[in-house]
Amino acid sequence: MYSQLTVLAKRVLSYPNRILFPGPFWVKVSIVPAWWHTWNEDRHIWLLHLQDRYAYGHIFGPKGNVKKGEYYQVWPRTVDSLNTWTTTDISVHAHMRRVLNHAFSENALRGAEAFIQTNSYEDWIGPINMADQVTYLVFDILGDLCFGRCLDMKETNRTLRHKPDMVIGFMELLHPVCAAELVTRGLDRLLAIATLPAIENWGNFVENCRESRSERQNELDESGTGSELLVIAGSDTSSTVIAATFFYLRRTPHVQKLQSCKYLTVFIQEGLRMALPVSAEPSREVLKGGTVVSYSPKGSMVSTAFWAVQYNQDYHPEPLKFRPERWVTGAAGSTKESVALSESAFYAFSMGSRGCVGKNMAWLEMRIIGAKVIWKFEFEQDMFNKLGGGTVHGRHGRHQEGQYQTYEISVSSRKGPVYLNERA
């Protein structure tokens, strides 16, 4: 209760003009509504509802005077275990990003294609939970790429198959904690305040000596945390979209007869739009000088709900309808102008300097896996299992049977089977 009152006082007293922003009153002065929807893993759906009623047209861009918020500081194992996702320091992120860019160059991706081809599929047949199977598949691919060894999660007797569920469980636990705006790394800060100057100086001296002798170790630590990020984030995002794409594919049987790489690409793109890999909005802290959203002063937290943007009917007409044609000029109901409008609001991989470094790798994975599975198998509806879609009597946002359901745990959790028959 004390912490909630502290946050309330901070919100109102530090920035009294907050009350002038559009939106429900209690959302402006309390974190409880947002936290409640975070706990229920439907915050992205709630934000879509708020967007339709209150949202500004545009508040996010690569030149915004912002940095990542404190939300991200909770995720690392220690204050020093940073990667491009968790670091809030702009200069540190720029250094890490330059290193990772080499791993996703055109030459590197050309070499990675062999690993994706090798692991593309097993002898899937019958009713299969594609959310699980694709997760195992992408983990195997990224194990090969990041550590030089396939994890063999596709094999039914592997002991590592529980690891993805552990990652999901960890994120389900920690994401609501991060969203509660609790003080992060509080013990570190308390010790720093209470430490005597002489002890602090000695600690700085020892730390400087250690750093001068351990540059190589720091490089290894950075490589390790970077690899962890690539395996976990890469497997989660790619598997979400691939599973969603197969979900929609079994509901559009005529598409399985098409033989066009271009159509495969826009089919995946529409799957990306409707099942955004990261459903949580990216938290940003306004820097000195403020930023313009009716004006937000230094220290304010702002964000753009990318998942909600993908369902904004001003940019994507009939947003709840799976229409790959919306991305093809000249296709049914699509013009050059409508395609450009949809493209302008497509943020599947974020944007700017914080955009996904593995975007091209993800596209390579999705295209190869999608093409090979569609080439080998036919997709059918499992009449006895509708897991994956909404339910007619579900609450608002969960009632569309033809919409692949995702659950916000920072990234998007998901479920869903499909019935596969090998092509004759």
**Model pLDDT for residues 240-288, shown as the tens digit of each residue:** 888 888 888 877 766 666 666 678 889 899 999 998 888 777 777 777 7
pLDDT tens-digit series, residues 143-158: 777 777 777 787 766 7
Confidence at residue 18, expressed as pLDDT on a 0 to 100 scale:
59
| Residues 219/79/239/170 CA torsion (nearest 10 deg) | 140
Domain boundaries, the chain: 69-278+306-422
Residue 61, pLDDT > 90, answer: no
User: 182 pLDDT band (50/70/90 cuts)?
Assistant: low
Q: Is the pTM of this model over 0.75?
A: no
Confidence at residue 342, expressed as pLDDT on a 0 to 100 scale:
92
Confidence at residue 363, expressed as pLDDT on a 0 to 100 scale:
86
Confidence at residue 339, expressed as pLDDT on a 0 to 100 scale:
92
Average pLDDT on 96-101 reads 72
- Average pLDDT over all residues of the chain: 72
- Alpha-carbon span 286 to 292, nearest angstrom: 10
Structure tokens at 96: 């890490």
356 annotated as belonging to a binding site for a ligand: yes
pLDDT tens-digit series, residues 197-253: 655 565 565 566 555 554 544 555 566 666 666 776 667 777 888 888 888 887 776
Confidence at residue 216, expressed as pLDDT on a 0 to 100 scale:
47
Residue 7, pLDDT > 60, answer: no
13: which residues sit within 8 A by CB, 6+ positions away?
A: none
Confidence at residue 255, expressed as pLDDT on a 0 to 100 scale:
66
pLDDT tens-digit series, residues 22-50: 677 767 667 777 777 777 777 778 777 77
56: which residues sit within 8 A by CB, 6+ positions away?
A: 22, 293, 294
Confidence at residue 200, expressed as pLDDT on a 0 to 100 scale:
59
What is the dihedral sign for C-alpha 281, 283, 289, 294? positive
Confidence at residue 340, expressed as pLDDT on a 0 to 100 scale:
92
For 69-278+306-422, which CATH superfamily applies? Cytochrome P450 (1.10.630.10)
